Chains A and B, each alone.
Chain A
């Protein structure tokens, strides 16, 4: 008789023990991921009143309306994609530049490394309230500084007109989320062997060539993951946009998540909201497929 068999197991056999051990995880994942997913899929096939939860089977009717005449979905999809691409591009540029800076032996480096994470950790509600004050046309610091500096003559309406509102949104989004890029890229930068840069210097590579031929290929992999994650998160970003512009002026910055909210709690059409959410999921699956294809192409 082996020693292992001597451990008392209250009569539970090996065949039962494995499933029992993973059961808690399966239950939790099922409750928070699988159930909502299938519930959303199911909801999208009904016309549901949010308040009474009266449901009526409509099949693919919600999707028909969504893709159909009024074009709300397509406008919002374009807005969402442009927002995602613009803010993500700005996040990458800012994030990589800041990571390169923080990787150098600069003055007060550890303090700077902590401070740069600040926008990422601050609550979105607080951050947006601060930004709304900065953008304020009468009391805002931005207008004050620009007028004081002689750049503009009259206050600019940063959030209430286009394209200002969109640009402001992209800038605040980039400010809020670029620290994520900094963290990921900086971690990778620190693991690039110094000898690669030295070899490149001896081979006659200048600053730009060293960035292109040593740094960029080394951080390429982590950038791929960062782009995937941030693209998904920016695509479904809700609170920042909802709080900063509310989708306005009119619907100029109304992204798909805002429509989901509007359908569910403004128009009380839970089934329609679910249809929008499911459509978003399909677009994001597209992102993921593109990422997988890119990764496989490189390997």
Chain B
């Protein structure tokens, strides 16, 4: 059974439609990321799950029961806020114990549970401190502790890592993955960072313009993006989009060079999406001029300017190319993504025979 079901959920503030009809079934125990650019409606969606906003239309079910009218405190969910929202006048121990106190848990049991959570999150030495005496990462852990101590059915996390520096962020990412593995509860995680979504989630819902663009595992979303928006949003460096042209016999050409054979009418001009890691330099291929070269050490990102547009290539770190140099590149036909030039949706199975499944 799914832990959370969203059925035709809509939300509008005045005239503005923020969420425009979301259907989503979150499997029990999943780590779901709601991923999308800012203003896409992902936070509103999370706040509706929390009960902090009421849907204008549609149903929210938790474990099968409709919770639209259930107040936040009675939903058996905990939320970690982007700003942590720790009570500044309370100590760490009091902060963590607060939800238990409000639920009338006896004092003795409270102390035991706070101690257990503090142990799990290594907060023991900090229990008597006030939030302002803690670093960002420590505050983050206290906020997690306050959520954990209730042992709720569902955890909601609203961009909890965005206020941390890069090192701490990757450290906390690992801790969260480990935590999810250990407690096995359903977690819903809002982020605009596709790297966080890819590394942490069991499921991703890519959201844009108030609708779910794609729902699937990180691999599915990465390998088979359903449209240009998803394709461009997931992956660093971003997928390159160039104009293709279909000739006689389904020959797909990129800047005049044949790159694949597709099942499409001659004269069609699909958008070709190419991921940087699928691009290779070759003796024969699409002619291009080398633009920006970014050596990262173990690899080098090279921007290749061809007649159809700019393609980024992820090449081995020892690749010796100079800006301005003329090269040729090629990409595996099976790894090209084709999108409708107008609507941007993925053209399903356009290949003749050479379609490969890398999922």
| B34 within 8 Å of A (CB atoms) | no
In the bound assembly, the distance between CA atoms of A60 and B82 in angstroms comes to: 65
Q: Indicate with 1 or 0, residue by residue over B61-96, a CB within 8 angstroms of chain A CB atoms.
A: 000000000011110011101110101111000000
Pairs across A and B, CB under 8 Å, 8 listed: A196-B85, A201-B51, A201-B72, A204-B73, A204-B74, A204-B99, A217-B87, A218-B88
| B102 within 8 Å of A (CB atoms) | yes
Chain A residues within 8 Å of B79, by CB: 198-199, 202
With A199-B146, A204-B99 known, 9 other A-B pairs at CB within 8 A are: A195-B82, A196-B87, A198-B52, A199-B85, A200-B98, A201-B52, A201-B71, A203-B102, A214-B87
In the bound assembly, the distance between CA atoms of A213 and B89 in angstroms comes to: 9
Q: Which residues from chain B sit less than 8 Å from chain A, CB to CB?
A: 50-52, 71-74, 77-79, 81-83, 85, 87-90, 98-99, 102-103, 146
Chain B residues within 8 Å of A213, by CB: 87, 90, 98
Most-contacted residue by chain B among A193, A199, A202, A205 (CB, 10 A): A202
Question: How many interface contacts (CB-CB < 8 Å) are there between A and B?
Answer: 58
Chain B residues within 8 Å of A214, by CB: 87
Chain A residues within 8 Å of B71, by CB: 201
With contacts A205-B102, A213-B98 known, is A199 near B81, CB below 8 A?
yes
| A209 within 8 Å of B (CB atoms) | yes
Chain B residues within 8 Å of A220, by CB: 89
Q: Which residues from chain A sit less than 8 Å from chain B, CB to CB?
A: 193, 195-196, 198-205, 209, 213-214, 217-218, 220
Interchain CB contact under 8 A, B85 and A204: no
CB of B338 to closest CB in A, whole Å: 44
In the bound assembly, the distance between CA atoms of A220 and B89 in angstroms comes to: 10
In the bound assembly, the distance between CA atoms of A202 and B90 in angstroms comes to: 17
Interchain CB contact under 8 A, B87 and A202: no
In the bound assembly, the distance between CA atoms of A204 and B105 in angstroms comes to: 12
With contacts A209-B102, A213-B98, A217-B88 known, is A202 near B73, CB below 8 A?
yes
Chain B residues within 8 Å of A218, by CB: 88
Chain B residues within 8 Å of A196, by CB: 85, 87
Interchain CB contact under 8 A, B52 and A204: no
CB of A201 to closest CB in B, whole Å: 5
Residue of B nearest to A220 (CB): B89
Chain B residues within 8 Å of A193, by CB: 83, 85
Interchain CB contact under 8 A, A195 and B81: yes
Residue of A nearest to B104 (CB): A204
Interchain CB contact under 8 A, A202 and B103: no
In the bound assembly, the distance between CA atoms of A193 and B81 in angstroms comes to: 11
Residue of A nearest to B99 (CB): A203
Chain B residues within 8 Å of A199, by CB: 79, 81, 85, 87, 146
Pairs A-B, 7 closest by C-beta atoms = A204-B73, A204-B102, A217-B89, A199-B85, A203-B99, A195-B85, A201-B72
Chain B residues within 8 Å of A195, by CB: 81-83, 85
Residue of B nearest to A193 (CB): B83
Chain B residues within 8 Å of A202, by CB: 50-52, 72-73, 77-79, 99
Contact of B85 among A198, A205, A209 (CB under 8 A): A198
CB of B37 to closest CB in A, whole Å: 22
Chain A residues within 8 Å of B51, by CB: 201-202
In the bound assembly, the distance between CA atoms of A39 and B72 in angstroms comes to: 64
CB of B62 to closest CB in A, whole Å: 14
CB of B129 to closest CB in A, whole Å: 15
In the bound assembly, the distance between CA atoms of A199 and B87 in angstroms comes to: 9
CB of A200 to closest CB in B, whole Å: 8
In the bound assembly, the distance between CA atoms of A195 and B86 in angstroms comes to: 9
Residue of B nearest to A203 (CB): B99
In the bound assembly, the distance between CA atoms of A218 and B90 in angstroms comes to: 11
CB of A207 to closest CB in B, whole Å: 11
Most-contacted residue by chain A among B72, B78, B83 (CB, 10 A): B72
Interchain CB contact under 8 A, B81 and A205: no
Interchain CB contact under 8 A, B83 and A203: no
Most-contacted residue by chain B among A203, A217, A220 (CB, 10 A): A203
CB of A211 to closest CB in B, whole Å: 13
Residue of A nearest to B158 (CB): A195
CB of A188 to closest CB in B, whole Å: 13
Chain A residues within 8 Å of B73, by CB: 201-205
Chain B residues within 8 Å of A205, by CB: 73, 98, 102
In the bound assembly, the distance between CA atoms of A216 and B327 in angstroms comes to: 68
Interchain CB contact under 8 A, B87 and A198: no
Residue of A nearest to B147 (CB): A202
Residue of A nearest to B74 (CB): A204
CB of B102 to closest CB in A, whole Å: 4
Residue of B nearest to A214 (CB): B87
Residue of A nearest to B152 (CB): A202
In the bound assembly, the distance between CA atoms of A193 and B131 in angstroms comes to: 15
Chain A residues within 8 Å of B89, by CB: 217, 220
Interchain CB contact under 8 A, B81 and A203: no
Contact of A204 among B83, B90, B103 (CB under 8 A): B103
In the bound assembly, the distance between CA atoms of A198 and B102 in angstroms comes to: 14
CB of B43 to closest CB in A, whole Å: 12
In the bound assembly, the distance between CA atoms of A218 and B52 in angstroms comes to: 22
